[in-house]
Amino acid sequence: MTLDRRSLLTGAAATAAAAIAVKTGGAEAAVKTAPADAVGLMYDTTLCIGCKTCVVACREANNKKPDTSNSNGLWDAPLDLNGQTKTIIKLYKDSDSPERSYFKTQCMHCVDPACVGACMIGALQKREKGIVTYKQEYCSGCRYCQVACPFEIPKFEWESKAPLMVKCELCNHRLAEGKLPGCVEVCPRHAVIYGTREALLAEAKKRIADHPGRYRGYKDGDPPRVFGETDGGGTQCLVLSHVPYEKLGLPALDETSQANATRSIQHGIYKGFIAPIALYAVLGAVVFRNKRAQDNDGGAA
Amino acid sequence: MSAVLHRPAPLGGPVVTKGARVLVVLAALGVAAMVTRFAVGLGGATALNDGYPWGLWIAFDVVTGTALGCGGYAVALLVYVLNKGEFHPAVRPALLTGALGYSLAAVSILLDVGRPWLLHRVPLYVSHWNTSSALFEVALCVMTYVAVLWIEVSPSFLDSWRKGPAGLKRTLGESFLPVVEKALPFVIALGLLLPTMHQSSLGTLMLLSGKKLHALWSTPLLPLLFLISSLAMGYAVVIFESTLSSVAFKRPREGKMLAALGKVVVPFLWAWAGIRLVDVVLRGKLAFFAKPDGYVLLFLVEIALIVVPAVMLASPERRADAGALFRAAILMILAGTLYRIDTFIVAFRPGAQYAYFPSLAEILATVGIVAIEILAYVWFVKRFPILTGAAPAHAAAASQVR
Amino acid sequence: MYLDGTSGLEPLHVDDEGQNRRDFVKVALLAGAAVGLPAALSAQIAEAAVKGVKPSVIWLHFQECTGCTESLLRTSHPDVAELILDLISLDYHETLFAAAGHQAEDALKKAMKEHEGKYVLVVEGAIPQKENGIYCQIGGRTAVDILNDVAGKAGAIIAIGSCASWGGIPSADPNPTGATGAPMILKGKTVVTIPGCPANPYNFLGTVLQFATLGTLPALDEKGRPKFAYGRTIHEHCPRRAHFDAGRFVQKFGDEGHRQGWCLYKTGCKGPATHANCSVQHFGEVPDAWPIGVGHPCFGCTEQALAFRKPLHDTVDIERPTPPDTYAPLHAPMGKVAPVATGVAGLIGGALLGAGWAASKKLGTTEEASKEPRKEA
């Protein structure tokens, strides 16, 4: 028992070191901002007529088969985004009032995405122009991105035996050819437009300023604002709506991203791996000494 | 130290017993479920969906299973860091349980991920490592820790092999045992570091889901709570297992040591419950209790499951009472299991439109994995020196071996 | 605006030849427009017709009902006289010929010799192959022989109707004569197929006119069908499509939906899998002269896989499904709970709890219990 106190103390010291690292690390983890050339979409519910051309165009652009599973093969009628559907037009209908709105769902291309923070070896990563892209060769199908995403965007090919994640990648293959994203190209009313995040944000704010009373905030009664400017640390795809965002099923998010919160803990503890190595050194020394003492006492290994 | 009195020895006796036959049937059903999963894919075999991408296999088999495998970690902490040699007899069986539990958790991961044949890329693609990913850290730690655990257990069989008939096994035993014994302190230290890292990171995992996790569970302290509870569960499992094995194998009960363990675990329980409560208060989430719903009830049940054994174990009489100690251990295991399942499934709310309850295949695979674990455990303790103080019938053989 | 004859444009009153040319232009434009050819091409057709460069056409009949010829005769723009006299030179056609017997056969030989390598061979009807093709003989020669002979010297080969395209009705099960289509006999040769029962004459005319003027054939799909006519499904241009998208279906013939002109899919319409332009190019310029137009489901006559094979009132898979008129809700329910699984889970949970409690009770009383209550790890 002679060593007890000392080993306890060293153990405590290592824990304290780790704790300090957490604290300082927390302060260090910088809030991520959108890259200068960040691009995105802006969807305006006041312009959308619900024609679903974008849904069809998205399929063609991304080589995805129509989803007829809900309609006995008759229609391409997915009920939500899924393993073969990267965008969909949903309908919000109020039961008590004539209030209704279409809502185009697709990846929001977060400024600091939770899915990217989740992904073990970067199958999902922000690549050119801040687009959250997927590289299947790094994906083992763990689905942590699905757990993490606040918008429920990444979908899994559940029926496949070699399943991949499926999500909007802003048609980056088309952008590379100088074309617009499929949905943007076909939209007959420019309800969804493509551009740099900066330009889109300016346009969205201009629309709000030009049309007092047309747009809304997050909740009923909130002043009008652009969804995605700051939500969840900001998104590269923005939404303007004539019904409160809450009613469109958009989540209430903090202004800092959840990825940032988690990163500060992970980086805090593991920055440069100093704390674990220090802890290991201490543990190694203590165990070595204690074990030798115990073995000399005649104990079994 | 009095460790000299406790020498592990193989229990001997038949492996195929009535109980084992039942377990073999359960294991076979489990294997059938696993085959189904690969034959029809995850969508067909499981009840998982895009809202609940993680289900029973992650929440129970992996997250709870590894915490239940923390006995070795928890006891090693006592024996090797705090130098409490009296707990030495608990080390080997606990490490064996850990090795089996972690290995089968790894099997569950292979079942659960969509493309397990790409998992090796996680450790190998160094330049792609996402060090901010808690799951990445868990994956790396668990992979390493499985190896560490087996190295820690290996002296038991290497030693037996060394003393056995000439052959490959004997050569293996003779050549590796000295190496392992030399390296053991550093492996043990690694065996202490790794669970500290990944058991806390298992908590960090769900932190990333943000507001999808109910506010009573979602806290920056999740890593700490998971670490503390894994230790509590580790001690509980050691008590549970030692008690059961003493009954099942008719060994003398290690009553004194288990009572001492019962005392050790109490502060962990109080810390676990206390931190949770204080955290809820400090984060200003008391409002939930004004309008109690299912989640509040669940939270209270979790706290009760922690507090009740804490109170039970506060009394030395109850700690000395085998039945009470065993009940407390069950409650602690339940507490940890419920806390983990709640955090990963029940309190995880991707949206009211999503529903999840494990499918038959998921349940059968999980039961099968537990059955395989018990079978392997029984086989190990009957063939190799894991447990101390064998029943009188085997005492002679035991002393001969050691 | 050619009122005064000084505009440099053609004068209003012209001689016979001019009048002739004007008519040609009109006919050619109408024919061209009817089959969807570009206006410039129609002018070229007229040009060619005026110069007297009319394609020689040899028309062979085998196992068939002459329905394709009949429907061709019923076109009004151009009408059959214009067609035969002005646009093409129909040198051999068993139905329209005044000649018969050896006289007719001589005409065939003469046309083949005069226009060798240039004439257009049109095949109507299936070709029987069983028993060396004895089931269809003309002038002592089997259909297979005639076809091989005439096709060998043709500039272009067109199989009109489903029979000539793949066998059609004569090839329906059990196909006693071993009937098959022209492309199957003339392997290695380009055979334009104009399937349909009957074939829509405009698809035939468009093909012939393009060959006559430009010497080329239209772009074909993998079954030899001109893409301008068979590139899309009936479903894609169906006048009843809105009813399909809205989910308004005729449930049975004569019901309210049928009277309202709703979608015929559920009564076995093959439109979603049938490549043809009937929905936009009605027969003989008579509005709604096509199956769906008169309230009958499309029976897939242009598709070998459907016509005379798939039962008339069986439904088909939608080839290219598109979104319906409905919308997904914001939160569509997902995932379900299997009662069996909950039951099993309950049993296991109960068994574990019971076993654990029983074990602990036993411990409480006797330290040396003998049974093995282990159930959990």
Residue range B170-200, pLDDT digits in tens: 889 888 999 998 898 889 999 999 999 999 9
Residues 191-210 of B with CB under 8 A from C: none
pLDDT score, position B4: 40
Report the distance separating Cα B101 and Cα A110, nearest Å: 38
For range A39-51, the mean pLDDT: 94
pLDDT higher than threshold 80 for residue B159: yes
Residues of chain B in contact with residue C354, where contact means CB-CB under 8 angstroms, are: none
- Are the Cβ atoms of C360 and B330 closer than 8 angstroms? yes
Decide which of A265 and B23 is more confident.
B23
pLDDT per position as a tens digit, B85-98 = 889 888 999 999 99
Q: Tokens representing C162?
A: 């489903």
In the three-class reduction of DSSP (H, G, I as helix; E, B as strand; rest coil), residue C20 is classed as helix
Residues 283-322 of B with CB under 8 A from C: 321-322
pLDDT higher than threshold 80 for residue A122: yes
- Are the Cβ atoms of B42 and A3 closer than 8 angstroms? no
pLDDT higher than threshold 70 for residue B348: yes
List helix spans (H) across chain A.
4-28, 53-62, 114-118, 144-148, 172-176, 182-186, 197-210, 258-270, 274-296
Q: Per mean pLDDT, which range of B24-28, B111-115, C313-317 is the poorest?
A: C313-317
The answer to whether B330 faces chain C, any CB pair under 8 Å, is yes
- Are the Cβ atoms of A141 and B114 closer than 8 angstroms? yes
Mutation for B interface: C363, C366, C367, C371, most B CBs within 10 A = C363
User: Helix (H) and strand (E) counts for chain B?
Assistant: 16, 0
- The partner residue sitting opposite C335, judged by closest CB among B51, B326, B367, is B51
pLDDT band at B1 (very low <50, low <70, confident <90, very high): very low
> Around Cβ B289, how many Cβ atoms within 10 Å?
12
Assess whether the previous peptide bond of C55 is cis (omega < 30° from 0): no
Could you tell me which of B333, B311, B302, B101 has the C-alpha nearest to residue B239? B333
Q: Per mean pLDDT, which range of A95-104, A274-283, C13-22, C200-209 is the poorest?
A: C13-22
Q: What angle do CA B180, B185, B189 make, to 5 degrees?
A: 120
- Are the Cβ atoms of B189 and A270 closer than 8 angstroms? no
Q: What is the DSSP letter of A227?
A: B
Question: Which run of H or E residues covers position A100?
Answer: strand A100-105
pLDDT score, position C340: 84
pLDDT higher than threshold 60 for residue A5: no
Residues of chain A in contact with residue C326, where contact means CB-CB under 8 angstroms, are: 77
In angstroms, what separates the C-alpha of B26 from chain A's closest C-alpha? 26
The structure tokens 């493309």 sit at B115
The per-residue b/e assignment along C93-107, b for 16 or more CB within 10 angstroms, e otherwise, is: bbeeeeeeeeebbeb
Decide which of C104 and A191 is more confident.
A191
pLDDT score, position C13: 38
Chain B contact partners (≥3 CB pairs within 8 A): A, C
The answer to whether C11 faces chain A, any CB pair under 8 Å, is no
Q: What is the DSSP letter of C328?
A: E
- Give pLDDT tens digits along chain C (377 positions): 333 333 333 333 334 444 455 666 666 666 666 556 666 766 776 676 666 667 888 999 999 999 999 888 887 766 666 776 677 788 888 888 888 888 888 889 998 999 999 899 999 999 999 999 999 998 889 999 999 999 999 999 999 999 999 999 999 999 999 999 999 999 999 999 999 999 988 888 888 878 877 788 889 999 999 998 999 999 999 999 999 998 899 999 999 999 999 999 999 999 999 999 998 888 877 888 899 999 999 999 999 999 999 999 999 988 888 888 888 888 888 887 888 888 888 888 888 888 888 877 777 654 443 334 444 43
Q: What is the DSSP string of B53-91?
A: -S-HIIIIIIIIHHHHTTHHHHHHIIIIIS--GGGHHHH
Strands A132-134 and A124-126: antiparallel
Could you tell me which of B321, B240, B257, B247 has the C-alpha nearest to residue C364? B321
List helix spans (H) across chain C.
16-34, 39-50, 67-73, 80-81, 101-114, 130-133, 143-152, 161-166, 182-185, 201-214, 227-230, 241-246, 256-260, 339-365
Average pLDDT, chain B: 90
Residues 263-292 of C with CB under 8 A from A: 265
pLDDT higher than threshold 60 for residue A28: no
pLDDT score, position C209: 78
- Are the Cβ atoms of B132 and A262 closer than 8 angstroms? yes
pLDDT higher than threshold 90 for residue A84: yes
pLDDT per position as a tens digit, B123-140 = 999 999 998 899 999 999
pLDDT score, position C202: 84
Residues of chain C in contact with residue B49, where contact means CB-CB under 8 angstroms, are: 334-335
The answer to whether A28 faces chain B, any CB pair under 8 Å, is no
Residues of chain C in contact with residue B52, where contact means CB-CB under 8 angstroms, are: 335
Give the HSE-up count for residue B340: Cα atoms under 13 Å, Cβ half-sphere: 31
Mutation for A interface: B57, B86, B133, most A CBs within 10 A = B133
Mutation for B interface: A147, A166, A231, A264, most B CBs within 10 A = A147
Strands A192-196 and A39-44: antiparallel
Would you say the C-alpha torsion A216, A218, A221, A224 has a positive or negative sign?
negative
Size of interface A-B (CB pairs under 8 A): 226
Q: Are the beta carbons of B233 and B309 closer than 8 angstroms?
A: no
pLDDT per position as a tens digit, A196-252 = 999 999 999 999 999 999 999 999 999 999 999 999 999 999 999 999 999 999 999
Residues of chain C in contact with residue A92, where contact means CB-CB under 8 angstroms, are: 330
Q: Which residues pair with residue C92 across a beta bridge?
A: C58
Nearest C-alpha in B relative to A19: B224
The answer to whether C320 faces chain A, any CB pair under 8 Å, is yes
Q: Tokens representing B66?
A: 């590894």
* Distance separating the N- and C-terminal Cα atoms of chain B: 19
In angstroms, what separates the C-alpha of B357 from chain C's closest C-alpha? 5
Q: What angle do CA C326, C328, C333 make, to 5 degrees?
A: 135
Residues of chain A in contact with residue B134, where contact means CB-CB under 8 angstroms, are: 118, 262, 266
Q: Tokens representing A59?
A: 């399929």
For range A9-34, the mean pLDDT: 55
The per-residue b/e assignment along A283-292, b for 16 or more CB within 10 angstroms, e otherwise, is: bbebbbbbbe
For range B20-27, the mean pLDDT: 94
pLDDT per position as a tens digit, B198-216 = 999 999 999 999 999 999 9
Residues of chain B in contact with residue A291, where contact means CB-CB under 8 angstroms, are: 80, 184-185, 188
> Around Cβ B208, how many Cβ atoms within 10 Å?
31
Q: Are the beta carbons of C281 and C275 closer than 8 angstroms?
A: no
Report the distance separating Cα C296 and Cα B133, nearest Å: 61
Residues of chain C in contact with residue A250, where contact means CB-CB under 8 angstroms, are: none
Q: Are the beta carbons of C325 and A79 closer than 8 angstroms?
A: no
- The partner residue sitting opposite A55, judged by closest CB among C317, C318, C323, is C323
pLDDT score, position C284: 77
Q: Are the beta carbons of B220 and B228 closer than 8 angstroms?
A: no
In angstroms, what separates the C-alpha of B176 from chain C's closest C-alpha? 30
Report the distance separating Cα A14 and Cα A274, nearest Å: 11
For range A92-97, the mean pLDDT: 90
The structure tokens 């094979």 sit at C309
- The partner residue sitting opposite C377, judged by closest CB among B51, B356, B374, is B374
